[in-house]
Amino acid sequence: MPKITFIEFDGTAHEVDVPAGGSVMEAAVSNNVPGIDADCGGACACATCHVFVNEAWMDKVGERGDMEQSMLDFAENVRATSRLSCQIVLTDELDGLVVDMPEAQH
Amino acid sequence: MSQAAAIDQQRVTDSQNAEAWRDPWSLPLESLDPARAILFKENVHEEYFRRLRQDDPVHYTANSEFGAYWSITKYNDIVAVDSNHKVFSSYKNIVVGDAPDEFYSPMFIAQDPPIHDVQRRAAQPAVAPTQLADLEALIRQRVCTILDELPVGEEFNWVDRVSIELTTQMLATLFDFPFEDRHLLPYWSDVATATPSTGRSDVTFEERNKVLQECLNYFGQLWHQRKNEPRKFDFISLLAHDPETKDMLDNPMEFLGNLILLIVGGNDTTRNSISGGVIQLNRAPEQWEKLKANPALVPNMVSEIIRYQTPLAHMRRTALEDIEFQGKQIKKGDRVVMWYISGNRDEEVIEEADKFKVDRENARRHVSFGFGIHRCMGNRVAEMQLRILWEEILNRFERIEVVGEPERVLSNFVLGYTRLPVVLHAK
């Protein structure tokens, strides 16, 4: 079961263990980690599950998709490490993943 | 009488039962035409969509005053169409009816990438989070002034005194529009949305265009003024200084189109959610009691108000290629209407969707803002205005009593109210 660490903007860390197969967004929402809105429920259509992937994990999480890129084009405070967490599918390879949250999802 | 009004009249007369159109369950499925504006004005549209969601969720209406069109009525189908902009294009109309070419005014909501992207990006900083934080104190002060001037214990029209006044002041700020002339903004907004393309058969494009030329001239002067001043964070200054949009005034119809977009986007939507909240809380007094007992529910209720009201009933797309969708063959060039008002009542996604619940779980999960690259740009401004308004109402009043039937707008696009008689009760 992969372990993920979400770090809030104020530095508070939340460690959660979740089964592989779901998304990073779902891992946050189902464990009541604050800071992810996910208004569209995981359809890559609202850009309210924005996270910054820890540099060390950038290669492993893969690239942004086309639609994800389009949505991030209109998000705030986008960085090179920005991803929409509904588009990162959890695998055992991602055990230990660390993501930072933006100040707000809007 | 215009042609569209004549068709409506004929339909009613032809029917054995003149009131049959009020009950969609009594009509042949293939004849259902949910885009008729009268359905929304008379508030009978909900049963049309209930039937379509149940019997024909992706529905084809072959004949209507707007031509043939598809209706997408289920939540997940709406998300799928809205986020597939490569197949379902926003160019060049986003309401069910087409604007005639001579009155066509381009605007970025009715464009695809790349034009949409560069123009939206130019305007968006006006409603960015940092801007909003600066605006919060100002909005609260205005809300307090508006509420403190209201009469207690006597009837007045909530739409005029609160819904229109508050959203107009906000809009004037976002444009840095001369405050003393601010009443022009809702006037232009109302003229812009009252078109034959959304079912207003009593107005013509010519009349509308004449008024909108005044809007264009007024904003043209503001543009010249802002262009010669340093860039700041109002819509006009941002567009006049952005490298991608700095020449927009050279194409007056495109400038006008984008003005209409920004004026309507910031006006009708929040205005009608403000009125809608009052109506919903009157219909469900136990929800008002729940809110009073726990004012921390306000932000959640704001999302619920926006879902329940769905201030824009639909958005329309045009298919760029043949596509099979939920077993139906949509052809290249077909009109595809996403009925947000229907998606927001879809029981498969939203439990007890017909109920208004201030403490609804997952209240943010609604389709009112749309999805994908055209998702509402000002959604956080809207939510902030509604939040502050209800916080300050709770501080002041025992309740807002609706004392007469609300009057609704004749439109298949703007779901709203022209009159809402209320009496305030002091705390």
- pLDDT tens digits along B396-410: 999 999 999 999 999
Q: Is the pLDDT of residue B12 over 60?
A: no
- Partners of A49 on chain B (C-beta within 8 Å) are none
Contact B79 A74 (CB under 8 A): no
Per cent of chain B over pLDDT 70 is: 96
- Partners of B373 on chain A (C-beta within 8 Å) are 70-71, 73-74
Contact A76 B372 (CB under 8 A): no
Domain of A91, in residue numbers: 3-100
Domain presence at residue A69: yes
Domain presence at residue A57: yes
B interface test, pick of A26, A29, A40 with most B CB neighbours within 10 Å: A40
pLDDT band at B244 (very low <50, low <70, confident <90, very high): very high
Domain presence at residue A58: yes
Alpha-carbon torsion (B73, B78, B81, B85), positive or negative: positive
- pLDDT tens digits along B141-184: 999 999 999 999 999 999 999 999 999 999 999 999 999 999 99
Distance from CA of B274 to the nearest CA of A (A): 21
Measured between alpha carbons, how far is A69 from B318 in angstroms, rounded to an integer?
A: 23
What are B425's strand-pairing partners?
B399
Mean pLDDT value of segment A16-27: 94
What pLDDT, on a 0 to 100 scale, did the predictor assign at position B132? 87
Contact A45 B371 (CB under 8 A): yes
Contact B364 A37 (CB under 8 A): yes
Contact A46 B375 (CB under 8 A): yes
DSSP conformation class of B160: I
Q: Is the pLDDT of residue B43 over 60?
A: yes
Interacting residues of B305 by C-beta distance below 8 A, sequence separation 6+ = B273, B276, B277, B280, B386
Domain presence at residue A50: yes
Residue B131 contacts A, CB cutoff 8 Å:
no
Matching CATH number, B78-426, of 3.90.480.10, 1.10.150.120, 1.10.630.10, 1.20.140.10: 1.10.630.10
CA atoms within 13 A of residue B323's CA, in its CB half-sphere: 20
Question: In terms of CA atoms, which chain B residue is nearest residue A29?
Answer: B362
Q: How many CB pairs under 8 A join A and B?
A: 49
Q: Is the pLDDT of residue A105 over 90?
A: no
ipTM, two decimals, is: 0.86
Look at residues B256, B276, B279, B214 and name the one whose alpha carbon lies nearest to residue B414: B276
Number of domains within chain A: 1
What pLDDT, on a 0 to 100 scale, did the predictor assign at position B201? 80
Average pLDDT, chain B: 94
- Partners of A41 on chain B (C-beta within 8 Å) are 79, 365
What pLDDT, on a 0 to 100 scale, did the predictor assign at position B14? 52
Domain presence at residue A84: yes
Q: Is the pLDDT of residue B9 over 70?
A: no
B interface test, pick of A46, A66, A87, A106 with most B CB neighbours within 10 Å: A46
CB B316 within 8 A of CB B81: no
pLDDT band at B268 (very low <50, low <70, confident <90, very high): confident
pLDDT band at B354 (very low <50, low <70, confident <90, very high): very high
What pLDDT, on a 0 to 100 scale, did the predictor assign at position B322? 98
What pLDDT, on a 0 to 100 scale, did the predictor assign at position A95? 96
What pLDDT, on a 0 to 100 scale, did the predictor assign at position B214? 95
- pLDDT tens digits along B52-96: 999 999 999 999 999 999 999 999 999 999 999 999 999 999 999
Surface-to-core class of residue B97, CB atoms within 10 Å of its CB (0-12 exposed, 13-18 middle, 19+ buried):
buried
Measured between alpha carbons, how far is B241 from B21 in angstroms, rounded to an integer?
A: 51
Measured between alpha carbons, how far is B23 from B401 in angstroms, rounded to an integer?
A: 30
* Residue A77 belongs to domain with CATH number: 3.10.20.30
Q: Is the pLDDT of residue B337 over 70?
A: yes
Distance from CA of A11 to the nearest CA of B (A): 20
What pLDDT, on a 0 to 100 scale, did the predictor assign at position B2? 58
Angle between helices B129-148 and B165-175 (to 10 degrees): 140
* Domain residue extents for chain B: 78-426
Q: Is the pLDDT of residue B16 over 70?
A: no
CB B172 within 8 A of CB B182: yes
Domain presence at residue A105: no
Domain presence at residue A106: no
Q: Is the pLDDT of residue A46 over 70?
A: yes
Contact A45 B379 (CB under 8 A): no
User: Which of B129, B371, B372 shows the shortest C-beta gap to A106?
Assistant: B129
CA dihedral B236, B239, B241, B246 (to 10 degrees): -120
Q: Which residue has the higher pLDDT, B132 or B282?
A: B282
pLDDT band at B11 (very low <50, low <70, confident <90, very high): low
Per cent of chain B over pLDDT 90 is: 85
What pLDDT, on a 0 to 100 scale, did the predictor assign at position B88? 98
What pLDDT, on a 0 to 100 scale, did the predictor assign at position B272? 97
CB burial readout B210-243, b (16+ within 10 A) else e: eebeebbebbeebbeebeeeeeeebbbbbbbbbe
Mean pLDDT value of segment B257-276: 94
Contact A106 B375 (CB under 8 A): no
B interface test, pick of A9, A37, A71, A74 with most B CB neighbours within 10 Å: A74
Question: In terms of CA atoms, which chain B residue is nearest residue A106?
Answer: B129
A interface test, pick of B85, B131, B303, B365 with most A CB neighbours within 10 Å: B365
Distance from CA of A28 to the nearest CA of B (A): 14
Alpha-carbon torsion (B333, B334, B339, B342), positive or negative: negative
Q: Is the pLDDT of residue B17 over 80?
A: no
Mean pLDDT value of segment B35-39: 96
